[in-house]
Amino acid sequence: MNSDSLVGLRARLRLHLRIVISFVALFAATLSFAQGDAASVRNHLEKFEQYRLIDHNKALGFARLVEGAVDSLPAESDYAVLCDFLADNAENHIFDYSEALRYKARLVELYAALGDSLEEARATADLGRLYFKVGDYHNSFTYSHKALARADSIGDNLARREALMSIELVDYFYYKDTTKAMSYNRLVADNYNGREEARQAIRALNNRFHYPLTPSEVEDILQRSAQIHSEFGFDDVQFNIYLNAALQQVLFDDLDACAHYLDLAKPMISNFKEEGYYYSASGFYNINRGHYSSAISDTRRSIELLSRGDFDEKNVHSYFLLQELYFDAGRYRDAYNALMQFCSIYTRQNSSESVVQLSKLINELELQYAEKQRIEQLERARRDIAEQRERQTLYMVICLLVLLLLVVALVLLYSRQKLERKNRRLLHEKSEQELRNKNEVIKIQKLQQYQEQRNLQSLTAELSEAVGATDSREMRNRIHKIIARLSKGVEADWVEVEKTLIDTNNTFFENLIKAYPNLTKNERKLCTFIHLNLSTKEISNITHQSVGSINIARSRLRAKFGIKGDDRSLIAFLDKFDSAPNQE
């Protein structure tokens, strides 16, 4: 071996030695750190135990400091208590069921390692319950039956009842065996001994709302749960019973009772999970009331609250309901977004076959959205056309009404004017009638005066005969003077009568004289008497002529007027001269 080889060998040996020394130092440092870390963990556990029963938040703070080492903690009862605390916090405070499963599974391992069969059985039963909450029916059924067998072997009723409730739910929801499931439920709900079993009993009563119920059965659940609640409390479970009773009343079409149970549940809300469940039930209630805006608001609030915890199973139904509400409201973009959220949760929960079915459903819904939008557009167009037609119809109706009003106004104006003309005509006719009546009175008065004068004329004739019979000159002179005065008065009275008749029948006399200017005074008198519709006898009495003389005078007038035959009366002939000149 030459010197170069020896030098190289020594260098390699020194390198290997340095590596070994480094590893030894690193191991020693790691061991020292682990010992220090173990001391720190122990110190945190002591602080945790100090606050565990008096201050949950402080205890949780110290538990969080060592939770990262939970999987590597040794099998000690203190570490088991820590795991149980963290599992309870995850399940009932932050509602992270996956985290609760991890802690509860570790707790089962710790109790198994410690040989504590009682706590192992109870932790195993709790593990079965948690697997059911996350939808893992197979593991829920497996661990629940394992817990049931362990509980039966050691005679622990609490673990047995807890396992039976999980098996009940798996039999009902997965195996669809309602009869067997209800038999398990009765074993837990129908009897209890002590506070822990009472809590299991009221939870089992709440589970009965999964089954078809009658109103009397719902009332029985409420009465029995109220009795347990008044004795032991359990507001969280009673809250769920009131919510389920409210939803059950919707199935019974009793919305007032639904509102009543919602009101009973609301004051019991103590965390965001219960608040989220309350708004979910309130949204369902508002849907059935027809208050869709409130239903959308409540459902969105429920999703927002339950998104803080592990409530995918609840929210997947809420999102599907929300997309239907948005769709019916015509809010298609919001409906699509809600559907996408539904799909996101659904694909996390279900198998590939279910996802394929969901994809088909999405395609169908998208087609429905498109069709709905098309229908909405057509409906909007129809509404626009209908509104335009309504406006046009309204304008036409207004125009027709205006035209009708104008026609009515014109008719009323015409009727008014016609009425006024009629009134004027009636007033004129009345005036003329009054004037005619007055003229008739005057005529009659004048004729009476004329008749009296004719009587005086007759008397004058008799006085003239008496003159020859007296011898007294003076008497004869006086009689002659009386006769002279009487004769003068008779002629003057006839002139006045004729003047009056002419004044009251001006048109008649003008037309008559114009047509027949050669009529004598006596003929005009006779025409006047005939025109006044006086009979031959009345004319005879007035003129002191015989009826025969009057008839002869009438015949002469007929001949003078050219009236031939008896088919036309002299009165009718003379009446023509009241309006127009004679044309014959």
Q: Per-residue pLDDT tens for 246-263?
A: 999 999 999 999 999 999
Q: Out of 38-47, 148-157, 235-244, 276-285, which region has the weakest mean confidence (pLDDT)?
A: 38-47
What pLDDT score does 262 carry?
94
Range of the domain at 524: 505-584
Query: Is the pLDDT reported for residue 8 higher than 80?
Result: no
Task: Read off the pTM.
Answer: 0.56
Residue 388 domain flag = no
Residue 514 domain flag = yes
Residue 581 domain flag = yes
Residue 558 domain flag = yes
What pLDDT score does 319 carry?
84
Residue 440 domain flag = no
The pLDDT tens digits of the residues spanning 492-532 come to 455 655 666 666 666 778 888 888 888 888 888 888 888 87
Helix (H) or strand (E) holding 512: helix 506-515
CATH no. for residue 568? 3.40.50.2300
For residue 292, give both structure tokens.
């869709």
What pLDDT score does 584 carry?
43
Asked if residue 112 lies in contact with residue 148, where contact means CB atoms within 8 angstroms, the answer is no
Residue 520 domain flag = yes
SS3 of 138, please? helix
The pLDDT tens digits of the residues spanning 200-219 come to 999 999 999 999 999 999 99
Domain count, the chain: 1
Residue 553 domain flag = yes
Asked if residue 535 lies in contact with residue 490, where contact means CB atoms within 8 angstroms, the answer is no
Q: What is the dihedral of CA 22, 23, 24, 30, to 10 degrees?
A: 110
The pLDDT tens digits of the residues spanning 390-439 come to 888 888 889 888 988 888 888 888 888 888 888 887 777 766 655 665 56
Kindly give the residue spans of alpha helices, DSSP state H, lying in 93-207: 97-114, 117-133, 137-154, 157-173, 178-189, 195-207
Query: Is the pLDDT reported for residue 576 higher than 70?
Result: yes
